[in-house]
Amino acid sequence: MTNRSTLNKTMRSDYERIEKEDYDIIFKLDSNKDITNILGKFKLCRSLRLMFSKFGIHFLMEGDKTYSSSLVLRQSCFKTVKIGDSFAFAHVDGPGLMNALSTIGDDTSVAFYYTEAEKVLVIQEKCGEVMVLSKLPSLHIEGSTNFSSSETNRKCVLNSSIEFFSEFNKNVDSETECVNIKVTLNEVNFIFKNDYCEMLCTIPAGSPIFHSYAVNEECRMTFLGKHIRSMLPAAKMSSDVEFSILANGVGFLLFNVVPKTMASSDDMVIECYLAPVSNFSW
């Protein structure tokens, strides 16, 4: 188990590289540790990979199966994380994304955990302030590739299900490797893959508009006045991706690009965030 002082030292050291590039930090957990009380029926989580960038923290749990998801940090007071009975990152509803990692230090710990009784995801700061994750209320994780919120009728799908991929076969042209995904009002996460990579497309539920581009070309978006340039790798890919944009309110789109090898040295997360539709430009 990583102790607090070692973790803080690692965080400070690794953060020096965040300004230049996203960086994977792997925290090993006790392989016999039962995290049922943290994430429903997920058990024996052997490692937790936190992928840091200026605009978010993403996590990958590795156990008997590999589950991954992406949550966006929306708070500017995030300091350090601690690995104990809960793994740590923050996703707090707020006015927009901020460069939250700029203030990493030793003062505050933020713990993420799951409460079975209330069936809500809770962020608790060390000072005692408790903030409920309002974007995804009443989540109950069933231990499969699907978890949903009955209150919002939103559906999230984790990218470890071959069966789920087969549902999109009708949308894939095997000759041109063209993938078209349409996001409906009741769904937020879609996953698709081809021979080169798997991709998780996360979009808040809402009225969509559409834009298409080539996976291996550069895309440029404006978010909160900042231009974010992202180059999707895998030059062999020629797929066109049709994705939807939240048509009212602030939304975000995140492409999680994971090579088929799943080797940690090859893992890469590429973010493309969207501003309110009235503010962004292509």
Which range has the worst mean pLDDT, 20-34, 41-55, 149-163? 149-163
Domain membership flag for residue 177: yes
Please say which residue of 86, 108, 140 terminates a domain.
Answer: 140
**What's the longest Cα–Cα distance across the chain?**
56
List pLDDT tens digits, range 218-260.
333 222 222 222 222 322 232 333 333 332 222 333 333 333 3
Residue 46 shares a structural domain with residue 89? yes
Residue 164 shares a structural domain with residue 72? no
Strands (E), 176-232: 178-180, 189-193, 197-202, 208-214, 218-223, 226-231
Average pLDDT over residues 203-215: 34
CB 109 within 8 A of CB 80: yes
CA distances from 100 to 52, 75, 78, 96 (A): 11, 6, 6, 11
CA–CA distance, 177 with 174 (Å, rounded to integer): 5
Domain membership flag for residue 277: no
Residue 91 shares a structural domain with residue 10? yes
End-to-end, the C-alpha distance of the chain in Å comes to 46
Average pLDDT over residues 75-99: 29
Residue 163 shares a structural domain with residue 112? no
Closest CA to 87 of 56, 119, 123: 123
Res 228: pLDDT: 22
Domain membership flag for residue 282: no
Residue 32 shares a structural domain with residue 107? yes
pLDDT band at 101 (very low <50, low <70, confident <90, very high): very low
Which range has the worst mean pLDDT, 47-56, 136-145, 202-211? 136-145
Residue 68 shares a structural domain with residue 183? no
Residue 34 shares a structural domain with residue 134? yes
Res 278: pLDDT: 30
CA distances from 257 to 2, 212, 232 (A): 28, 17, 8
CA distances from 226 to 59, 211, 270, 282 (A): 25, 20, 16, 13
Cβ-based burial of 92 (10 A; exposed 0-12, middle 13-18, buried ≥19): buried
Report the 10 Å Cβ neighbour count for 32.
Answer: 8
Domain membership flag for residue 64: yes
Please say which residue of 113, 140, 167 terminates a domain.
Answer: 140
Domain membership flag for residue 153: no
CA angle in degrees (0–180, nearest 5) for 145-57-166 = 25
CA angle in degrees (0–180, nearest 5) for 84-257-209 = 110
Res 265: pLDDT: 32
Residue 17 shares a structural domain with residue 132? yes
Res 186: pLDDT: 27
CA–CA distance, 91 with 135 (Å, rounded to integer): 9
Res 201: pLDDT: 39
The chain-wide mean pLDDT, for the chain, equals 31
Q: Residue 101, SS3?
A: helix
Residue 8 shares a structural domain with residue 128? yes
CA–CA distance, 103 with 191 (Å, rounded to integer): 33
pLDDT band at 178 (very low <50, low <70, confident <90, very high): very low
Residue 127 shares a structural domain with residue 10? yes
Domain membership flag for residue 256: yes
pLDDT band at 213 (very low <50, low <70, confident <90, very high): very low
- Give the length of the chain: 282
Please say which residue of 140, 174, 194 terminates a domain.
Answer: 140
pLDDT band at 140 (very low <50, low <70, confident <90, very high): very low
Domain membership flag for residue 150: no
Res 211: pLDDT: 35
Q: What is the domain count for the chain?
A: 2
Residue 125 shares a structural domain with residue 229? no
- The residue range of the domain holding 252 is 159-272
Res 181: pLDDT: 32
Res 130: pLDDT: 30
